[in-house]
Amino acid sequence: MKVAAKAKGGVMTAISRSLLTVLLLSGTAGQALALEKVSFGTNWLAQPEHGGFYQSVADGTYEACGLEVTILPGGPQVNNRALLLAGKIDFNMGGNMLEAFSAAAEDIPVKVVAASFQKEPQVLMTHPDQGFDSWESLKDADTYILGDQGFQSYFQWMITEFGFDASKRVPYTFNPAPFIADKKSVQQGYITSEPYAVEQEGGFSPTLFLIADYGFDTYSTTIEAMAATIEEKPEVVKCFVEGTIKGWYNYLYGDNSAANALIQKDNPDMSDDQIAFSIDKMKEYGIVDSGDTETMGIGAMTDERMQSFYDKMVKAGVVENGLDIKSTYTLEFVNQKVGLDLKK
């Protein structure tokens, strides 16, 4: 469709200008333009923790600003971050800021453009009524069941900051049975996953300690883009980030049925009960929406918090000192109060 832009003498009249404005605002003119195809790789199988992205695909939020987004789920044999670095995809779902710091150490030009999660979803779980009812009491546990990644990152911070004993650590094999059998153990978990597995297999609700609430203040489930993409296509980055922010509000507080259908299409093993449990925990613990998001909108990030987490990781010996951490992220596309009006 072509919009007439000239009147007599080649000068746009007030009527034609008004018509153009109406068409643009209604999206009619935009529909004539081809949507820009964008690919986004996640870091695991489709799940409610990716709900904001699926929501904006399902309800047309990305399309409204000109993007046709394809979500490429991660998984055990998938490395979407490598595809980002190779220029095969446009955006990637990062974990926490340790990945970004690692990229800076290796001079890899990737940046975090938004943080879907204000809180790292890692928890430590204990058996109820075993005397482990405070963070400090966790040091009295017989064993800590931890995976290598957790042991090498947040547990090093726990050793440095709180005096936890590394000799009590045993490897986590992603099987809840050892924890269920040992009432004096502590096990790591993702707040939306392992607690659910324990409830289903062990028949009890574990006591949960979200490490973010005790000072592990990284952002998580980040959106990453290459520096070149940010420089060359800022409007695409803006659309994707703001579309995702709106998606999270609609997913958490609106009708998320279409998004959940897409999640289950990509991951048929995801049950309705697991979805409900995950959404409930994300809301209960403020994983997506808490703190700065209450005034600046979902996705919020600040320099102060980035520096705080980096300093803790340097002190714990997890990352090297002297990194230019401001090269790992940009605040250009967040903190604009986008989507606050969608919160119900």
DSSP 167-188: GGEEE--S-SHHHHH-TTEEEE
240 shares its domain with 322: yes
222 shares its domain with 149: no
106 shares its domain with 136: no
Would you state the pLDDT for residue 344? 78
The span from the CA of 157 to the CA of 151, in Å, is 9
Would you state the pLDDT for residue 33? 67
| pLDDT, one tens digit for every residue, the chain (344 residues) | 333 333 333 333 444 444 434 444 444 444 446 999 999 999 999 999 999 999 999 999 999 999 999 999 999 999 999 999 999 999 999 999 999 999 999 999 999 999 999 999 999 999 999 999 999 999 999 999 999 999 999 999 999 999 999 999 999 999 999 999 999 999 999 999 999 999 999 999 999 999 999 999 999 999 999 999 999 999 999 999 999 999 999 999 999 999 999 999 999 999 999 999 999 999 999 999 999 999 999 999 999 999 999 999 999 999 999 999 999 999 999 999 999 999 97
Domain count, the chain: 2
336 shares its domain with 193: no
239 shares its domain with 286: yes
Whether 263 contacts 275, CB under 8 Å:
yes
Residue 325 lies in a domain: yes
237 shares its domain with 303: yes
Domain that holds residue 238: 36-119+218-342
The span from the CA of 52 to the CA of 283, in Å, is 13
254 shares its domain with 320: yes
C-alpha pair distances (Å), 257 with each of 28, 68, 250, 272: 27, 20, 11, 10
The span from the CA of 81 to the CA of 74, in Å, is 9
Residue 321 lies in a domain: yes
222 shares its domain with 262: yes
Instruction: Show which of 211, 238, 253 is a domain's final residue.
Output: 211
Residue 56 lies in a domain: yes
12: DSSP letter: P
226 shares its domain with 333: yes
153 shares its domain with 204: yes
236 shares its domain with 105: yes
Instruction: Show which of 195, 211, 227 is a domain's final residue.
Output: 211
Instruction: State pTM to two decimals.
Output: 0.89
Helix (H) or strand (E) holding 112: strand 110-117
Residue 333 lies in a domain: yes
The structure tokens listed for 294 are 């209450």
The span from the CA of 160 to the CA of 163, in Å, is 6
Instruction: Show which of 211, 234, 252 is a domain's final residue.
Output: 211
193 shares its domain with 90: no
Residue 1 lies in a domain: no
The span from the CA of 119 to the CA of 224, in Å, is 17
> Which residue in this structure is represented by tokens 């890899």?
108
